[in-house]
Structure formats: structure tokens, C-alpha cells
Amino acid sequence: MNVKDESENLDLKLKIQKTKIMAFSPITAWQIDVETMETVTGFTFLCSKITEDGDFSHERKRRLLLGEKKAMTNQGSMLKSRDITLPTKVRPVKDTVFPAVMYGCESWTVRKAAGRNIDAFGLWSWRRLLQVPWTAGKSKLPILKETNPEYSSEELMLPLKLQYFGHLPQRTDLLEQTLMVGRTQGERRKETTGNEKIR
């Protein structure tokens, strides 16, 4: 309603038919001016998939698929060229593919299985770059030694997360800062049971 009222003050009309809402509480219907707005379970905001349950596994899988497409479809001819040296091939993969996969990873909760999936994508990318199929029986150590990545795919997320949380203390009135620091305003009243001893 606030969005609708402020829009009308600027001679803008909120089109209910094109407006969708998502709530983190069980809301089945929402009406404005007798018109029912469509409720959704997820939407894409700033290129990131956000769902009502707060689970980022869908976004992580979507990013990995995007990285596969970006790595092989957009750069396939360059990666297959015999006239381009290996260090030159490695650079665009580091600069374009992995940032596309890691976009928004600051808010991901990465468990062991998810970390293995992310590292598997990194190894898959280097195998495709070197044109080494899984059936070749070549272990990951020679591949990583040949491509010489500075960090694993999962380790790339750590500095991004630290950089993000480093900015939070400089800002005020943020939910993220409250969750990170773990402090809220005010004091909790001490509960008494009547059995305390007076000293």
C-alpha cells in the first residue's frame, strides 16, 4: 500500500496485473483495491534467484549451469584453438567464468556436499580447457598443476565473504549486521523463580 500511495503522488499507477509478491510467512492471497495480487515462491532479483524458504541451493545450481554455458559455449572456439597458448586460455576462464559462477556467493550457506559440487565444477572447467575427458584416467593433481589455479573454486568464495562482512560494520541499521554481531538494542529482563538467595 505504501508503494501504491507513493506512486500515485508521482502520477504513477501500480499495475496490479503485473505485480507479484513473495512473503516469508504463509500468505495465500493479497489484495489491493479489491484486486488480488499474484503470490510467488521465488523470483530473480539483481541476477540472483531468491526463494521464500531462503534456500540458495537453487541459485548455486543455476550459477554452475551458467558457468558451464559461459565456459564452453561462449569461449569454445578460443579454448579449442591450437594457436593460443595455455596461459592465455586460462586467463579468460579465471576472469569471466568463475566470477559468473561466484556472483552473489556472499550469502550462500555452503555445506560439504555443495563445496564438493563447486570444486567439481572447477575441475570440470580445467579438464574441458585442456580437452582431457574423464575416460582418460588422468587424476586432478596433474591437471591442477598444469593450469596452476591459485585457489580451489570453493576457496574463491572466502575472500568475497570476508570482503562483504568487512563492509557491514561501517553501515548502521542493517539486519545483516545484527545477525553477524549478534547484538540487539535494549536489555533482557532477568526472570526470577522466587528461589534466589539474597546476598
pLDDT, tens only, 40-67:
878 777 777 777 776 777 778 888 888 8
Q: Specify the residue for cell string 523470483.
A: 43
Q: Which contiguous run of DSSP H or E holds residue 70?
A: helix 57-72
- Output DSSP code: residue 189: P
Helix, strand, coil shares of the chain, percent, nearest 5, are: 50, 10, 40
Q: Which contiguous run of DSSP H or E holds residue 31?
A: strand 30-32
Q: Quick one: pLDDT at residue 171?
A: 66
- Mean pLDDT check: name the lowest of 4-8, 98-102, 130-134, 164-168: 164-168
Q: Quick one: pLDDT at residue 176?
A: 65
- Output DSSP code: residue 107: G
Q: Quick one: pLDDT at residue 71?
A: 64
Distance (Å, whole) CA 153 – CA 118: 6
Distance (Å, whole) CA 113 – CA 165: 24
Q: Quick one: pLDDT at residue 84?
A: 85
Give the type of residue at 29. Answer: A
Q: Which three cell numbers stand for residue 171?
A: 553501515
- Mean pLDDT check: name the lowest of 52-61, 119-128, 133-142, 167-176: 167-176
CA 105-154-77 angle, to 5 degrees, is 90
Q: What is the pTM of this model?
A: 0.57
Q: Quick one: pLDDT at residue 40?
A: 81
User: Which stretches of 33-167 are assigned E, i.e. beta strand?
Assistant: 35-39, 42-45, 48-51
Give 50's strand partners.
43
